Amino acid sequence: MAALTLTDLFAVPALDRSLAPALQQALDGKAKPPGALGRIEELALTLGLIQRRLKPIMERPVLLVFAGDHGLTRSGVAAFPSGVTVAMVDALLTGKASANAFARVVGAEVRVIDAGVAADLSDRVGLIQAKVASGTQDASLEPAMTPAQAEAALLAGARVAQGAIADGADLIALGEMGIGNSASAALLMHRLASEPLDACVGQGAGHSAEGMARKRAVLAQAAARSDVTAPFEVLTQFGGYEIAMMAGALLAAARAGVPVLVDGFIGTAAVLLAVRLAPAARDYCLFAHASAEAGHRLMLDAMNARPLLELDMRLGEGTGALLAVPLVKAACALLSEVAELTDVLEAAW
């Protein structure tokens, strides 16, 4: 098979809506008042359209956790040291992180990918090795990555999603781990959603008032360095590798007709990037939760997205996406398992 190119990856087909009337009729005919299952009915219709089936199936959800480091941390945008990225990759690989625990609860598989961690992880068992570089450059001083690195990261993310889908994944959940990536995501949001930088900056994994002031100042310096707004250029200027790979994974899943569960602030920034690169990708996304990170709501609004859950979470790793898996499964079960109202009434009378 010919190697995937960015042109292929950006050619996401528009969602085929031809089954919408039949799906709506099926939902209205179930043993319940029309519309009584609210947003689960909306979700069921979306899943039917994406899978092109009147009875969508959800048997093998797979969480992809992309990990990467950020040169911006050298300028003090994060409260935690970037070594925490490695420690959490090890926790994720050994089943000890929150995402692993939640994945066990909802019956999802977890795959962990080295997108650009600033440490040699070549000896880690079970880690998908896709490192483009050992962390991005410090985006407050220079471009986070080269165009060739951005392209490599988008394509590597696509290949990881294609691999999971080839193994039977029928739902891709996107997660990430990367100290400093809330800073990178804020810069992406600023440029891709055209929001003032201050509205895009939140506390990330945690910050004192002094830390927040430093984060804002460093990001203002980064934003002043380059005025790009075109999505690929915004990625090269502001990073990061795990964000690029999540965007690539979404585009590959959309092309394969596989729905994607979107997690928090950083995952949503990756989706915004993907949607600016290929607008049709938006219709393959299921937005799992509203993160407590300031700016997340506004970023969701930029894509007209209404998240399923609101739990005041701001962890990342895909934890919010995982908690929405049972809702997705329930939406499938509604279309495939619930009786027709006419059959139920006939049986009773």
Ligand X SMILES: O=C(O)c1ccc[n+]([C@@H]2O[C@H](COP(=O)([O-])O)[C@@H](O)[C@H]2O)c1
Q: What is the separation of C-alpha 263 from the centre of its chain, rounded to a whole number of angstroms?
A: 5
Query: 169 with 257: CB under 8 angstroms?
Result: no
The reply to whether omega before 71 is within 30° of 0 (cis) is: no
Instruction: Supply the DSSP symbol for 205.
Output: T
Output 26 or 88, the one with its CB closest to ligand X. Answer: 88
- Alpha-carbon span 208 to 200, nearest angstrom: 17
From 14-22, 105-113, 191-199, 315-323, give the range in contact with ligand DMD by CB under 6 A.
Answer: 315-323
Task: Give all strands (DSSP E) within the chain, no chain letters.
Answer: 61-68, 109-116, 128-129, 171-177, 260-262, 285-287
Q: Is 317 a catalytic residue?
A: yes
Task: Give all strands (DSSP E) within 178-275, no chain letters.
Answer: 260-262
**Closest approach of ligand X to the CB of residue 183, in Å:** 5
Instruction: Supply the DSSP symbol for 75.
Output: G
Sign of CA dihedral 17, 19, 24, 30: negative
From 3-11, 188-196, 211-219, 309-317, give the range in contact with ligand DMD by CB under 6 A.
Answer: 309-317
Output 127 or 152, the one with its CB closest to ligand DMD. Answer: 127
Given 41, 69, 293, 317, the residue binding ligand DMD (CB under 6 A): 317
Given 75, 162, 181, 236, the residue binding ligand X (CB under 6 A): 181
Question: Hey, which residues between 260 and 289 contact ligand X (CB under 6 A)?
Answer: 263-266
9 binds ligand X (CB under 6 A): no
Structural tokens at position 260: 């994607």
Map residues 204-233 to x or -, x wherever contact with ligand X holds by CB under 6 A: xx----------------------------
Map residues 229-258 to x or -, x wherever contact with ligand X holds by CB under 6 A: ------------------------------
Output 27 or 92, the one with its CB closest to ligand DMD. Answer: 92
SS3 278: coil
Number of residues that bind ligand X (CB under 6 A): 22
Output 169 or 183, the one with its CB closest to ligand X. Answer: 183
Give me the half-sphere count of Cα atoms (radius 13 Å) on the Cβ side of residue 186.
30
- Rg (Cα) of the chain, in Å, rounded? 20
180 binds ligand DMD (CB under 6 A): no
84 binds ligand DMD (CB under 6 A): yes
Given 56, 178, 248, 295, the residue binding ligand X (CB under 6 A): 178
179 binds ligand X (CB under 6 A): yes
292 binds ligand DMD (CB under 6 A): no
Q: What is the separation of C-alpha 44 from the centre of its chain, rounded to a whole number of angstroms?
A: 20
Output 37 or 153, the one with its CB closest to ligand X. Answer: 153
- Alpha-carbon span 252 to 11, nearest angstrom: 10
Query: 186 with 201: CB under 8 angstroms?
Result: yes
Q: What, of ligand X, ligand DMD, none, does residue 45 touch, CB below 5 to 8 Å by kind?
A: none
Instruction: Supply the DSSP symbol for 260.
Output: E
- Alpha-carbon span 104 to 95, nearest angstrom: 9
Q: What, of ligand X, ligand DMD, none, does residue 264 touch, CB below 5 to 8 Å by kind?
A: ligand X
Q: Which entry of 317, 337, 340, 346 is annotated as an active-site residue?
A: 317
75 binds ligand X (CB under 6 A): no
From 112-120, 121-129, 176-184, 270-278, give the range in contact with ligand X by CB under 6 A.
Answer: 176-184
315 binds ligand DMD (CB under 6 A): yes
- CB burial of residue 45 (10 Å; 0-12, 13-18, 19+): buried
Sheet holding 171-177, edge to edge: 128-129, 109-116, 61-68, 171-177, 260-262, 285-287
List contacts with ligand X (CB under 6 A).
78, 80, 176-183, 204-205, 263-266, 291, 293, 314-317
List contacts with ligand DMD (CB under 6 A).
80, 84, 88, 177, 205, 315-317
Residues acting as catalytic residues: 317
